[in-house]
């Protein structure tokens, strides 16, 4: 990777890692103050607001990044379009809230739903700001903004939870985060909207963006469909336990995935006519990110019971199995993200949409089959389906970039094997000690040592690259 990618990836990882670390600490504190049932209510509402944000953003944010000559007129046009879209979406959600509350037998959900839905307004603006940041590679500004917003909103939510405000602490955490992030971004980035809206340019971007909108909408709905069904079919605390169990692996994988998406897309788009360069970037991103993610997922699955007991407490023991299954589900996420961003970068949004339709058809089959066998069976089948989707996502790049799924698996196989061996060592070490905190600390230590030793023994390519990079960095600092 060139210096531009490395710098952007560093700041994007720092931005995601910093804000998510704060939000993670806040969520742990809130989980000890609130119940799984309260998390179930907010999880259902968050699903609908997530879908609403996709509708508001219209796929134009990605179109702005992909557009080579995007200027202030383009950004301002998308800004005002998003604002208009957010108003329409909010009105629809406001009217829909009683129907949703009746469906889930949660009458208190009406007011909560209407209040929390206001995040679509700052969300519409933030999507344009994020596109500008990605286009200009100004991820340092985004790091400062998200970290401040996470700390401020976290403090507000903890204060409200301690005052006994229950689910409203979670609601206002989201609202305050979005509003503060939007305001700080206006201060930290060198862009403000001008009063101009070019419909011709919007039409040009729509040709690219509508396919991404459809793909994102399909992806978001199907990714959250199981949550919607679980909230309706199973007991009140099941979705809350699943939500907390998924939180841990998702924290790691989505941070890395968002960083890869924000950094790789604009850089690959610049080189979209040089397919060999794009293939090289894709290969490096897959091998390096897999080397980082795979051991984290294997290790987290091995320490799941101890991790939940130490951080969340015994009332969340039902989330252990979901944590382990979601580690398996997310293990190969870097392959998903990198392949899809390569398709977007070379302008193959039509293929992107086709892949999403195929994958979601598979997800629907899994949901229909698994729902009657219980929540655990449903999530286990999801993990299997997500593994199969790595082959689906990689398939087009065999023709477009001459980089097949078998080549990709060959590149990461060393990391897969040593991660599995490390996970077994971590699990075995945990059987020796019974005390939670000490046991968790020893397991983490064993995992790090074993993974490094196995990387050295197998001469893992990504490990050697990281060591060489650190040596060069140390040498230049001296």
| Cβ atoms of residues 377 and 297 within 8 Å | no
Query: What pLDDT sits at residue 303?
Result: 94
Cα–Cα distance between 210 and 212 in angstroms, integer?
5
Rg, C-alpha atoms of the chain: 22
User: pLDDT category, 99, cuts 50, 70, 90?
Assistant: very high
Cα–Cα distance between 459 and 344 in angstroms, integer?
33
SS (H, E, C) the chain: CCHHHHHHHHHHHHHHHHHHHHHHHHHHHHHHHCCHHHHHHHHHHHHHHHHHHHHHHCCHHHHHHHCCCCCHHHHHHHHHHHHHHHHHHHHHHHHHHHHHHHHCCCCCHHHHHHHHHHHHHHHHHHHHHHHHHHHHCCHHHHHHHHHHHHHHHHHHHHHHHHCCCCHHHHHHHHHHHHHHHHHHHHHHCCCCCCCCCCHHHHHHHHHHHHHHHHHHHHHHHHHHHHHHHHHHHCCCCHHHHHHHHHHHHHHHHHHHHHHHHHHHHHHHHHCCCCHHHHHHHHHHHHHHHHHHHHHHHHHHHHCHHHHHHHHCCHHHHHHHHHHHHHHHHHCCHHHHHHHHHHHHHCCCHHHHHHHHHHHHHHHHHHHHHHHHHCHHHHHHHHHHHHHHHHHHHHHHHHHHCCCCHHHHHHHHHHHHHHHHHHHHHHHHHHCCCCCHHHHHHHHHHHHHHHHHHHHHHHCCHHHHHHHHHHHHHHHHHC
Query: What pLDDT sits at residue 477?
Result: 47
Instruction: Quick: pLDDT tens for 31-40.
Output: 888 777 788 8
List the one residue out of 400, 298, 279, 286 whose CA is nearest residue 350. 400
Q: How many CB atoms within 10 Å of residue 204?
A: 14
| Cβ atoms of residues 396 and 351 within 8 Å | yes
pLDDT at 421 over 90: yes
Query: What pLDDT sits at residue 446?
Result: 94
Query: What pLDDT sits at residue 270?
Result: 60
Instruction: Quick: pLDDT tens for 340-395.
Output: 877 877 777 678 778 878 888 898 899 899 988 999 999 999 999 999 998 898 88
User: pTM for this structure?
Assistant: 0.74
Give the range with max mean pLDDT: 170-179, 265-274, 405-414: 170-179
Residue bearing the bigger pLDDT, 431 or 102: 102
| Cβ atoms of residues 147 and 22 within 8 Å | yes
Q: How many CB atoms within 10 Å of residue 124?
A: 29
Kindly report which listed range (10-14, 54-58, 307-311) carries the lowest average pLDDT score.
10-14
- Token code pair at residue 77: 């046009």
Instruction: Quick: pLDDT tens for 274-333.
Output: 667 778 778 888 888 888 899 999 999 999 999 998 888 888 889 999 999 999 999 988
How many residues are listed for the chain in this entry? 478
């Amino acid at each position: 990777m060139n210096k531009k990618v490395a710098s952007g990836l560093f700041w994007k990882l720092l931005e995601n890692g910093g804000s998510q670390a704060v939000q993670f600490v806040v969520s742990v504190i809130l989980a000890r103050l609130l119940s799984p049932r309260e998390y179930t209510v907010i999880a259902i509402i968050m699903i609908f607001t997530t879908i609403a944000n996709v509708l508001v953003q219209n796929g134009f944010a990605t179109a702005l990044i992909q557009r080579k000559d995007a200027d202030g007129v383009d950004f301002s046009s998308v800004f005002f379009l998003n604002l208009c879209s957010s108003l329409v979406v909010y009105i629809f959600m406001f009217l829909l809230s009683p129907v949703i509350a009746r469906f889930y037998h949660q009458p208190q959900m009406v007011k909560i739903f209407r209040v929390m839905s206001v995040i679509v307004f700052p969300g519409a603006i933030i999507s344009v700001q994020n596109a500008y940041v990605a286009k200009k590679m100004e991820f340092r500004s985004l790091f400062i903004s998200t970290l401040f917003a996470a700390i401020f909103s976290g403090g507000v939510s903890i204060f409200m939870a301690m005052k006994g405000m229950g689910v409203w602490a979670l609601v206002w955490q989201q609202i305050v985060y979005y509003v503060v992030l939007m305001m700080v971004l206006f201060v930290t980035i060198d862009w403000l909207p001008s009063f101009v809206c070019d419909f011709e340019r919007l039409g040009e971007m729509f040709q690219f963006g509508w396919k991404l909108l459809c793909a994102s909408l399909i992806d978001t709905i199907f990714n959250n469909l199981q949550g919607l069904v679980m909230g309706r079919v199973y007991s009140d605390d099941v979705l809350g336990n699943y939500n907390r169990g998924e939180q841990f692996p998702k924290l790691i994988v989505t941070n890395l995935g968002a960083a890869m998406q924000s950094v790789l897309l604009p850089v690959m788009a610049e080189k979209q006519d040089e397919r060999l360069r794009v293939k090289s970037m894709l290969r490096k991103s897959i091998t390096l990110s897999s080397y980082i993610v795979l051991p984290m997922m294997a290790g987290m699955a091995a320490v799941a019971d101890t991790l939940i007991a130490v951080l969340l407490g015994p009332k969340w023991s039902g989330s252990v199995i979901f944590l382990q299954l979601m580690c398996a589900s997310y293990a190969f996420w870097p392959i998903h993200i990198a392949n899809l961003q390569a398709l977007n970068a070379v302008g193959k949004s039509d293929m992107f949409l086709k892949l999403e339709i195929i994958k979601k058809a598979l997800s629907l089959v899994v949901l229909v089959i698994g729902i009657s066998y219980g929540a655990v069976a449903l999530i286990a089948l999801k993990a299997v389906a997500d593994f199969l989707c790595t082959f689906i996502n990689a398939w087009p790049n065999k023709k477009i970039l001459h980089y097949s799924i078998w080549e990709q698996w060959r590149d990461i196989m060393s990391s897969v094997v040593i991660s599995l061996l490390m996970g077994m060592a971590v699990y075995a070490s945990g059987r020796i000690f019974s005390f939670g905190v000490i046991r968790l600390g020893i397991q983490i230590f064993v995992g790090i040592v074993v993974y490094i030793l196995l990387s050295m023994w197998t001469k893992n390519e990504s490990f050697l690259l990281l060591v060489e990079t650190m040596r060069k960095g140390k040498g230049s600092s001296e």
